[in-house]
Structure formats: C-alpha cells, structure tokens
Amino acid sequence: MDGNGRWAVSRGLPRVMGHRAGIKSVRAVVEAAREQGISYLTLYAFSVENWKRSPREVDTLMRLLSEYLRRELPNLMKNGIRLNPIGDLKGLPAGVRERLRRVVETTRPNEKMTLNLALNYGGRFEILQAARRVAAEVKAGKMKPSDLDEESFRRFLYTEDQPDPDLLIRTSGEHRISNFLLWQISYAELYLTPTLWPDFGKQDFFNALVEYQRRERRFGA
C-alpha cells in the first residue's frame, strides 16, 4: 500500500493525512476481495524499515492502526474475515498488541477469508527467524538437516500453511518488492500501478484481477 505521503503532499496536506485517507482504500479492497471469494489477502501496512520515519509519523500510523482495528471488528465479523497479523509483533507498542490480540481472538472462528496484516514485517527477517527455529530444532535433535525441504521450511514462516500469493499488487508507480514476502512470492504475478494508495478503490482492485486472469502461468514448465 504505497503512495499515501505523495497523495497528501500533492494536495498541500501533511503526510499523515494520506495515511488517514488510505484507510478507505483498505476497506474497499478488503470488501472487494471478500466479494470475489478470495481466501487470503495480505496488506503490507508497516515494514521493519518504517521505524526510520519521523516519530510523529510512526505514532500516527500506530494510532490509525489501533483505530482501524477497533472500528473494523464488526465488519470483519459480519463478513466472516479472520485477522492474522504477520511480522515481529513483539516490536509493536503494547496498546496495539493488545488490540490485535483481541481482534485475532474474536475473529478466529471466521472462515471466509484470512486477512494477513503485515506489521513490523520484513521478508528477510521472516526467513531469518525461520532459520533460527530450524537450527534450534536440529540442535534439540527433533529434526535432521536432511529433513529440511521447501514444504517443511514453509511451516516456519509467518504464513505457515497458507498457499503462496498468486498476485502481488504494488501501488504508486514503484517497481520494487521492498522486502515483502520474499519466500512466498517466487511465482506471484506482479501488478504495478501508478495509482496512489488513497486513490486505489474497488474498481482498481477488479482491474488487477482481470489483468491477472489474462496472464499465462507456467511455473517454469
């Protein structure tokens, strides 16, 4: 979800207003994905690198996140959506963690769609923490190095038993992955659009799906 800052600055507004405006795109895309029967949607909300932003901006992002979680819970319940935060959650403010815990608990029985919310997320960190846990299992004698293959390794990732993403959408005209789901996106179709995140709505999401349907996926075959 990229381009909030530029959206605001181009209107002579402070950057944080772009983040606020971006929430309505989050709502639209979650609803559109759910309508289309998509089982897993991952939103990259805050990366491990985003702490480098000004304290004021980080603080606003955390407050908006808390507000979103509080306001959105009834909608998640109504639409059968389970919230699954992914990332180094220990690094988040206690208030955010507590709210996440509550929403995760409440939405756990929902089965229509899993909404992965990437928070304090980094793809390299995800692979590293997986490698550390594998090493610990080997050291404890619970696993042999030769037991490790792609299937057994993926269970140590935040996305565990989920399928790999089919489609990766990046807004705001950037042509980068920026440390997002590095392991999981090996064969994802990329959809790069110049549209800034606060301008990205339901129709834009549908356009991405239509473009995805035109792609021929061969997985190297």
Binding interface with ligand IPE (CB under 6 A): 1-6, 19, 46, 50, 61, 172, 197
DSSP per-residue codes, 111-166: -SEEEEEEEEE-HHHHHHHHHHHHHHHHHTTS--GGG--HHHHHTTSTTTTSPPPS
- Whether 75 is a known active-site residue: answer no
Q: How far is the CB of 187 from ligand IPE (least distance, A)?
A: 25
Return the residue nearest ligand IPE (CB atom): 5
Asked if 204 touches Mg ion (CB under 5 A), the answer is: no
Q: Which is nearer to ligand IPE, 33 or 118 (CB)?
A: 118
Q: Which is nearer to ligand IPE, 2 or 126 (CB)?
A: 2
Q: Is 72 in the site for Mg ion (CB under 5 A)?
A: no
DSSP per-residue codes, 26-67: HHHHHHHHHHTT-SEEEEEEEEGGGGGS-HHHHHHHHHHHHH
Neighbours of 122 (CB within 10 A): 20
Phi, psi angles (nearest 5°) of residue 185: -95, 15
Of positions 1, 2, 85, 125, contacts Mg ion by CB under 5 A: 2
Q: By C-beta, is 95 or 194 nearer to ligand IPE?
A: 194
Amino acid present at 138: V
Annotation says 179 is catalytic: no
Selection from ligand IPE, Mg ion, none that 50 binds (CB < 5 to 8 A by kind) is ligand IPE
Contact 120, 45 (CB under 8 A): no
Which of 50/106 has CB closer to ligand IPE?
A: 50
Ramachandran angles phi, psi of 139, nearest 5°: -60, -40
In the complex, least distance from residue 33 CB atom to ligand IPE, rounded to whole angstroms: 19
Which spans of this chain sit near Mg ion (rule: CB under 5 A)? 2
**Catalytic site positions:** 2, 50
